[in-house]
Structure 1
Amino acid sequence: MTQTTTSDYEVARDRLTRKRKFKGDVVAYAVINAFLMGMWAVAGFGYFWPGWVLAGWGVLLLLDGWDAYYRHDVTEEDIQREVHRTR
């Protein structure tokens, strides 16, 4: 059985790519939702319908942020620690 390993360079590049994408997503979230709130204000305020977009997209954005900044790949050390815990 062969084991595929990913170099540290590739792991770091992937992590940086996710972080850069997340930053772009945050900017898009802010710009688009500001536009929607502007439309809501021009329409006479009333029911705050942009809240649905803010909330739904915001939850997805939080999940992407968690993935980009806090989730890490499983390392060999993690695997060895788990193997020793089960004994």
Structure 2
Amino acid sequence: MRTYHPAGVPADPDPVRSRAIRQLHQKRGVQAHVLVFVLSNVAQVVVWWAYTPDQFFWPLWSILGWGVGLVFHIWAVYSGAQLDEARIEREMRRMERTGD
């Protein structure tokens, strides 16, 4: 019997394939986050422009605050700082040397 990943993708005994599938899901999540960020903030700018263009540009707070979170999300997915065997081995050797 085949087991399935929560997203409906069959579980694969190949760890590289499993990591690739997980990475693709994460990238899709970033794409959705960017789309919602852009659409939501454009809507706020339109509301500001339509109703209060002579007042402080209040959508700035949403753009900056949410933008920081979006940047961290993008960095987490695309930084390449995923745990791979080489990184794990290096950390294990470091821990053996330092006694951590």
TM-score by shorter chain over 0.5:
yes
1:53 is aligned to 62
Query: TM-score normalised to the size of structure 1?
Result: 0.82
Give the partner amino acid of 2:51.
Answer: A
Q: Which structure would you say has the larger RCO, counting Cα contacts within 8 Å and 6 or more residues apart?
A: 1
Alpha-carbon deviation of 1:80?
A: 2.2
2:39 is aligned to 31
Alpha-carbon deviation of 1:72?
A: 3.1
Q: RMSD of the TM alignment (CA)? A: 1.9
Identity percentage over the alignment? 29
Matched, 1:78 2:72: no
Query: TM-score normalised to the size of structure 2?
Result: 0.72
Kindly report structure 1 stretches of 4+ aligned residues shifted beyond 4 Å: none
3-state SS of 1:26 partner? helix
Alpha-carbon deviation of 1:71?
A: 4.2
Alpha-carbon deviation of 1:39?
A: 0.4
Q: Distance in 1 between matches of 2:52 and 2:15?
A: 56
What is the count of residue pairs matched by the alignment? 83
Question: Residues 41, 79 of structure 1: CA spacing in aligned structure 2 closer, same or farther, 3 A cutoff?
Answer: same
Q: Distance in 2 between matches of 1:31 and 1:83?
A: 45
Unaligned 5+ residue runs, structure 2? Answer: 1-13
Matched, 1:21 2:29: yes
Q: Distance in 2 between matches of 1:33 and 1:85?
A: 45
